[in-house]
Amino acid sequence: MASIGVLVTLMLFLAKGVILPLVGVSAFLFGFIFMIDRGCMRRNRIKRAERYVALCGGKSYIDIEELARQMGKSKKHILKDVKKMIKLGIFPEGHLDAQESCLILDDATFRGYLKLEKERKALEMEEKVARMQEKQKAKGAYVMQEKQIGDEQPLIKEGNDCIRKLRKLNEDIEGEVISAKLSSLENLLQEIFDRVKEHPEQMPQMQKFMNYYLPTTLKLVEAYREFDDVSVPGADIASAKIEIEQTLDTINQAFAELLNKLFRSTVYDVTTDAQVLQTMLAKEGLTGNKDFK
């Protein structure tokens, strides 16, 4: 609108026969062209913003890399464009995450992201503390074996209590598919706690498992039992049950990896001993390997 006003003013001067200085005419024309250009830039930016929102596919967030791929532009170009849009208020509730890798379109989602970041940093701090404790313990054996056993018992007791709860939940829930997954989970937990009972020095690795993973798993299974008791479940309940069943597959896979991690040092020691023994036997000429030097 301002650019149109400039043009109209210039035309009125000319219509009245007013002779403007060349500098003045140039200033009018420059201002007119500048405002037209700014207006076009803003319209184009708004169109791109609408395109960005459409690419979110109904979600309130999208990766900058995904935007760059869909738009056929570099990540640096898209990031600069998004920052400008947020600054101009084109996205009234727009935010970027801490790594500037994700565009978040509303305050509610951004608050959720901040909460998750806070929890993630807290977990990282717990892991850091656990690693420090493990390094300290690696420098020497426990001072008192009796204290090891005393510290071990509460964790093992809590683990066995969880296994019993899981077994009872499995008995209450109908369905062969979910029952098979819960049975596998029970067996994995039993092996994990048996391993920790035999090797209490691995207890620091169990902190996050006991404080978050195991309680959350039980909470999911308890929720599944409640949903399973509903006589006429709606679409939301059916969807939640499917989500829990799929999550149990991920949990079983993760707990199996934890069990493997607990055995990793033993596997390494056994493999090393076997290789050293083979080398020594071959060196003594007891393996029939004539080429050994």
Give, as one character, the DSSP assignment of residue 18: P
Q: Tell me the two tokens of residue 111.
A: 């608050």
pTM for the full predicted model: 0.42
What integer pLDDT is reported at residue 244 of this predicted model?
A: 93
Q: Tell me the two tokens of residue 289.
A: 């390997």
> Amino acid identity of 175?
G
The mean pLDDT of 247-261, rounded to a whole number, is 88
Q: In whole angstroms, how far apart are CA 81 and each of 38, 63, 206?
A: 15, 14, 45
pLDDT in tens, 187-223: 988 888 888 888 877 777 788 888 888 899 999 999 9
User: Whose CA is closest to 148, among 203, 192, 208?
Assistant: 203
Q: Does residue 37 register a pLDDT over 70? A: no
> Could you give the domains of the chain?
2-104 (1.10.10), 145-283 (no CATH)
pLDDT in tens, 153-191: 688 888 889 899 999 999 999 888 889 999 999 998 888
